[in-house]
Structure 1
Amino acid sequence: MFKLHQTTEYGNCWSISSDKFKVKHPGPSGGLSLVLYLEVADYLKGLTTGHGARIQIQEQRTYPFPTEEGLFIPASMETNIGLKMISISRQGGLYGDCNDGKVLEKSSTYKYTRSACQSLCLTDKIMEMCRCYDERFEELAMSKSNVLKSCRNHTEIKCMAELKRDFVMNEIHCTCFNPCSEVQYAKSVSQRQWPDEDYAMVLLQAICDKDSDECALLRGLIDEPAKLK
């Protein structure tokens, strides 16, 4: 059920989506629970600015934008995210312009969103003018063509940077109306410290049963703060 999505900001990201997930009753016990092992020992010292995860909750089949639309989940915390689904239908016509998304859905596996439309518009311009694509939107670029390469050399990167600047300055015009139909999620977030010391040892034992080397490393990390005390 997990699908890989790579980003330049966070590296390997994973999306989980299934029609089998159906909420039967409200509250934390009726939702999806994930325990994330962040492998803090593998972070790059001096370069990593913090420990945690980035999570985005979105409508199924829409293209993910974790950098722009995600939430930070801190390490050593239990985080509950309450959701309220908001279904939006725009009438279009005399009431204003909207996009039914059929054009995008014909050329890709993703459902139309305004963010995806803007990214695809910029991607098309980069592919046309620079003859390469932005690695951030590789999946969108591959839905248009499987021939071009990513922008790597100095000339390509300079060309791409200039187009991105023009895009930010509204010098590249993209007609991206709001979708005629979309689902949004209002979020409420609460947190507490997790796990406590006793439960941490239960989790450690579960890791030790599977990987002795990782177990020794984690025991060292746990013992070090104890020595400092």
Structure 2
Amino acid sequence: MDTPLSARRLADTAALLADPTRAAICLALLDGRAWTAGELARHAKVAAPTATSHLNRLVGAGLLAEERQGRHRYLRLAGPAAAELVESLAQFGGVAGVGVAAGSLRGVRRGGELARARTCYDHLAGALGVTVTEAMTALGLLDDRHGLALTAAGAHWLAAAGVTVGPGRRAAVRACLDFTERRPHLAGAVGAALCAHALAEGWVERRPDSRAVRVTAAGERALGELLGVRWEAAS
């Protein structure tokens, strides 16, 4: 019996991430930024030609997008759907603390930073993301009675806070199960806009070479004023 086309396509997609090198590349790109081919090769601990072969396959399948600037080739996940696929598979496989060296003091510290506050592709995650989501729900800005939804009050709150949600076919709000908190955090277009605004306003700042972020003093004030959240920054 011939295998249905849909089944073959599903198998082909699954095979892309069945290779440890390609999986490592995609997990690294969950930080939402574009990496050079050389950076991804070093991260995956493979030679540049080997990385190029894997990257070409991921780009060809539509999982990654590339952009060239001069001699550099930058790569990123192709979009929210690709990020959600990788994140969901990581959660299903019990991957926690992506990019953390298990068993080392540095790994323990990095794992704690990721659990406290990080980005999940383009939205806030970890204890910070869950805390923001639950505070918005408690204030009636989100409604979780029939799946997470933005309320009219939430739309007004976003506008008042200066958070601009860009147009597009992406779902406005989506609940993403947090792999460390085991509770949902806010994803979708609203989650992405809120994260982008927090970074632009200096409420959070990225930690080097990590998906972890740190809440700044300005961010502590914003959380308190806008959501009634008391957040103490960790050094």
Q: Give the structure with higher Rg (CA).
A: 1
Q: Which structure is richer in relative contact order (CA contacts within 8 A, separation 6 or more)?
A: 1
Give the TM-score taking structure 1 as reference length.
0.29
Report which of the two has the higher share of helix.
2
Give the TM-score taking structure 2 as reference length.
0.28
Report which of the two has the higher share of strand.
1
